[in-house]
Structure 1
């Protein structure tokens, strides 16, 4: 059984989802700039390590609430 988590969705071209497929976590990132990227993780800690590299807190200066929401969404996977 695959469980799908929507991390964010601005429209059908800008969204991110994580699917739990057994012991794998498959992250799909779709953007109007880069198309679709898929990343597969073996564990939640590996996923969270990627998240912190991909979304450094410094990039959200003045929008800390947005960063917190994003991190919480990933933690709920």
Structure 2
């Protein structure tokens, strides 16, 4: 069974989806600049490590609410 989570960043063209496929976690990142990138993780801690690198809290100074909602969405995967 595949469990799919949608994690929107800004709009329909800049978004992420996360699918849990058995023991794999597949993240697809779609952006208007880079097209589609796919990442596969073997564990939730590996996914969260990537999330911390991809969304450093310092880049969201003044937008802490947005950062917290992104992190919360990933934690529900």
TM-score by length of 2: 0.96
CA distance in 2, matches of 1:66, 1:14: 14
Count matched residues.
76
- SS of the residue corresponding to residue 62 of structure 1 reads coil
RMSD, aligned α-carbons: 0.8
TM-score by length of 1: 0.96
Residues 33-75 of structure 1 show CA distances to partners (whole Å, capped at 9, x for unaligned) of 0000000000000000000000000000000000000000000
Residue of structure 1 equivalent to 2:37: 37
Residue equivalent to 1:76: 76
Deviation beyond 6 Å, 4+ runs, structure 1: none
Q: Write the distance in 2 (CA, Å) between the matches of 1:33 and 1:49.
A: 24
